[in-house]
Structure 1
Amino acid sequence: MERARKRIFYYKNEYVKNVKLVHYDIETNRRYRLDIELKNGDSEKAVHLMMINPSKANEEISDNTLNRIIKYVSLNNSAGVLQNIGKIIITNLYVVCEIYQEKVDEYISVQSLDFVKGIDTEGKYNNNTIIEMANKDAQLIIIAWGKGYIFDYDNRIQEIFRLIKNKEIYHMEDLTQEGYPRHPRTWAYSWKLKRYNIEG
């Protein structure tokens, strides 16, 4: 059965000042880092938000998840841990641009796991290096990848934890029953961020 055509989402002018694709490999359909500058807040103060894998969002087209993140930060950056945050840095566990997780597994079968993680090359397109640079550019990290169904998922999470273990890490509300940080598609704007302890 053919899936229904996806709705097109755009960035909300009331919240967003500028969007920049910092690292994107168009030839391989992989997005590594997306920066979203907000209209309110200090653009020198950033939050690094990490999810599973990118959708089709770019500098012009958004998606429902990104719009929810943008609105949440914009509504909650007058006080608390997000106070005066003016930039959102988006990275992901995996870098292939796909809406459906089963498609990500197809990339693993055809290419390789390292290709999907984005760590198959050196330099500017190495996802682990890009994540570490995003950590340096941000005041805090929000982990928000939710439960995933991609091959080797939990091992990839542990790899990421080794990259961010010395940073100030938050997640939204309580963890899921399986112990994963909640994905932004489930966030309510009134929910609170909580500190995350990697050691458990």
Structure 2
Amino acid sequence: MVAYPDYIDIRKIGINRTGLTTGENCRYSLTINLGLTRRTLVFILMNPSAATENVSDVTVNNCIKYAINNNYSKVIVLNLFPFYISEGEKLANFLKNKSSNDLKIYLDRNIKEIEWIIENETKGSYEIILGTGWSWAKKNKVDQLFIEQAQKIYELLQPKNVYAFKKDNNSFTGSQASCKFTYHLGGNRSTKLENINKFKVNIKCINNEYRLQ
């Protein structure tokens, strides 16, 4: 956990979250008002690490830095999975050990929050940046659940302007044509957002699958 930058008024930070059981929390959205122009920047990442109304984390602070450097007035951070867990392996174990009924409740609510944000916060000047990652899901054998959640999000994003960052001149990760995902923006990678080439993502429905192109 780290502090928010000094220029952030934490009293104006909005968060949509809920507790599951002791030690298990969800964050469905994090909204940070920057007070600049009337432009909204939406990030869709893998899952929350630590940021709340009072404390931030490395990824969120670098999203804020990117927004400030590009004259955005608001940052909204969404995630593929809403669970507060910092390490990918621990997240995978959590997903595998949680009952399918419990997962459905929280994942469905997460999708509804993303849908609401996309519908209500992207009517003016906005940009959506995808940074979900993929390799950890394959490695930890939660790839099918990952794909299912990504497909739901891609469907919501299909008519919108969506962007991502390239890694070593590669646009997407995932070996199969139907399993292309954007690179994870969390951790140390977030510290270099200003040095990464950004590109526009096309999302197309092919044989009932939404694919990144």
Question: CA contact under 8 A between 1:54 and 1:92: conserved in structure 2?
Answer: yes
- Paired residue for 1:5? none
When structure 1 is superposed on structure 2, of 172-181 and 47-56 the one drifting more is: 172-181
Residue identity matched to 1:98: I
Residue identity matched to 1:145: T
For 1:32 and 1:107, locate their aligned partners in 2 and report how far apart those are by CA, in whole Å.
17
More helix by share: 2
The residue correspondences of 1:134-173 to structure 2 (distance < 5 A) are 134-136=117-119, 137-138=121-122, 139-150=126-137, 151=142, 152=144, 153-173=146-166
Residue identity matched to 1:24: R
Question: CA contact under 8 A between 2:164 and 2:200: conserved in structure 1?
Answer: yes
The residue correspondences of 1:73-92 to structure 2 (distance < 5 A) are 73-77=67-71, 85-92=72-79
Question: CA contact under 8 A between 2:133 and 2:181: conserved in structure 1?
Answer: yes
- Paired residue for 2:183? 182
TM-score, normalised with respect to structure 1: 0.78
For 1:27 and 1:154, locate their aligned partners in 2 and report how far apart those are by CA, in whole Å.
24
TM-score, normalised with respect to structure 2: 0.74
For 2:184 and 2:13, locate their aligned partners in 1 and report how far apart those are by CA, in whole Å.
21
Residue identity matched to 2:69: L
Aligned length: 178
**CA 1:105/1:182 → structure 2, altered by over 3 Å: closer, same or farther?**
closer
Residue identity matched to 2:105: D
Question: CA contact under 8 A between 1:69 and 1:184: conserved in structure 2?
Answer: no
2:19 to 26, 31, 44: 26
Question: CA contact under 8 A between 1:52 and 1:148: conserved in structure 2?
Answer: no
The residue correspondences of 1:116-131 to structure 2 (distance < 5 A) are 116=103, 119-120=104-105, 126-131=109-114
Deviation at 1:148, TM superposition (A): 4.1
Residue identity matched to 1:126: R
- Paired residue for 1:132? 115
Question: CA contact under 8 A between 1:20 and 1:35: conserved in structure 2?
Answer: yes
The residue correspondences of 1:105-116 to structure 2 (distance < 5 A) are 105-113=92-100, 115-116=102-103
What 5-or-longer segments of structure 2 have no aligned partner? Answer: 175-179, 205-212
**CA 1:177/1:105 → structure 2, altered by over 3 Å: closer, same or farther?**
closer
Deviation at 1:160, TM superposition (A): 1.4
For 2:85 and 2:69, locate their aligned partners in 1 and report how far apart those are by CA, in whole Å.
28
